Amino acid sequence: MNGTISQPRLRILSRSIDYLALTKPELTALSVLTSLCGFYLGTSGPFDYWRFIHVALGTALVGGGAGALNQFIERGYDALMKRTERRPLPAGRLQPLEGLIFGCVASMLGIIDLCLFTNMLTGFLAAATFATYIFLYTPLKRITPYSTLIGAVPGALPPVLGWAAARNEVNLGAALLFAIVFCWQMPHFLSLAWMYRRDYARAGFKILTVADPDGKRTSHEIVAYSIALVPVSLLPAFAGMTGLASMAGAIILSLAFLSISVMLSRHAGNPQTIIGGKFNSYSRRLFFASLVYLPSLLLLIALDKA
């Protein structure tokens, strides 16, 4: 009897895990984190915890829904890549229609939630983030290497969304948060894309790393945006949003991140380091450094809020 009861429960648990995987939980969690940071920094006066909760909920629904629809659209290509072949749709654990319905419903609920419980501007920004990700970035990955640049826009909008939820406007503070996340995304994604460039090539994606066998263009882009992060990360302090403590922390974090980018670039263009895997090793190091950099910087800015 216990066996017959546990089997349905196991199936429910398994399907729940698959639906969670559809949301791209790591990316969605990052979007929620940056949107909440934007809300906190944008708040002046009493803190609205109820609105804070709805910013988190709405962002999670829109981000998760967009992730599900992205996987629905790319399910055939995901089946060709080792990194993604075990996702629920290409592996057949969920049907395409289930992914489509889940993505549409989650995204719509998120936009409605933000419109009703924050303001219309926040709902509009969420819809713009969703549309840019699904209708521009997703198809352009198979057309142009510049898709990464375009994809950085919806990736950098969540803190703007959070700021708008707090103030019902988009001003300089929101623009500075956008600039930080935008510049961060380029080395973050390009380092990941280099590690999996053969996968992307196998699936027919036209991203920069696929068309850059010696890594020179990729490393130049990474270093350029890492350099840009140094002054950009200081702008909140210069704008009076934060104090000297976060400025000092931003300098240390950004220079450390830049140093890893420069070390990576030194191994570009050398067939021995490309074939031997040293360039790939530094790409991995940079990718994990990027996962530490952004949350650390945002935490510093939030703790040192003026």
Alpha carbons 287 and 249: distance in angstroms, whole number: 20
Residues 6+ apart with CB under 8 A from 197: 207, 209, 210
Q: How confident is the model at residue 1 (pLDDT cuts 50, 70, 90)?
A: very low
Domain 171-306, CATH class in plain words: mainly alpha
Domain ranges within the chain, ordered by starting residue: 1-170, 171-306
pLDDT of res. 279: 85
List phi, psi (to 5°) of 305: -55, 130
Structure letter (DSSP) for residue 210: G
Mean pLDDT value of segment 161-182: 97
In whole angstroms, give the CA distance from residue 243 to residue 56.
26
Residue (of 137, 113, 139) closest to 50 by Cα position: 113
Mean pLDDT of 289-299: 97
pLDDT over 90 at 50, yes or no: yes
Which residue type does 289 have?
A: A
Residues 35-59 have a mean pLDDT of 96
Enter the tokens of residue 56.
């988190």
Mean pLDDT of 223-228: 98
pLDDT at 21: 97
C-alpha distances (whole Å) from 66 to each of 25, 85, 109, 175, 304 are: 11, 19, 12, 23, 33
pLDDT, the chain, mean: 94
Please report which confidence band the pLDDT of residue 268 belongs to, taking 50, 70 and 90 as the band edges. confident
- Percent of the chain with pLDDT strictly greater than 90: 88
1-170 under CATH 3.40.50.2300, yes or no: no
pTM above 0.95, yes or no: no
Does this chain's domain 1-170 share its CATH topology with 171-306? no
Instruction: Encode pLDDT of 63-97 as tens digits.
Output: 999 999 999 999 999 999 999 999 999 999 999 99
**pLDDT score at 280:** 87
Residue 5 has pLDDT above 80, yes or no: no
pLDDT of residue 275: 64
> Which stretches within the chain are classed as H helix?
2-22, 25-42, 49-73, 75-78, 96-117, 120-131, 138-140, 147-156, 158-167, 172-195, 197-203, 216-238, 244-265, 271-276, 278-303
